[in-house]
Structure 1
């Protein structure tokens, strides 16, 4: 996966806002996995992944319908944003990636 910037986290959180609450964790991990898969594809072929884009989390998230971006006054958005950060951290430290 490409380096994660604020816009990546925001796009992923906005995708999560559109998803059912009980499926958000699974969707978050899926988007991160898609970004990683796309990044590997780009490195190997020099071409965008046909489904997941350029390897950024934003590209993977934008394959879904995104909610309008709320402010951090919205507790549900904050929970989604936090989930994305947590799952990125877990992905980065996963022994499977070593």
Structure 2
């Protein structure tokens, strides 16, 4: 083979690789969108075939739903705090530093 043929072959291989990469990126984005995964989290889908991407997207969507259901729980919200009794140590420390309780 001459240099021209070798160059054309390498350019063809590079173009095919770019096309595969673009197709995989589009597939990632489409599967992510179908499962409610934001664009910034689509990068977490690392599979290289449709079946793997679907499995990853389903797991990520399930995790997202389970986290959303937890919420923040404050068990003592709305209750009046009980005053802390003044112990001997606290009274000593207050007097040591010239404070009165």
TM-score calculated relative to the size of structure 2: 0.27
Tell which structure's C-alpha radius of gyration is larger: 2
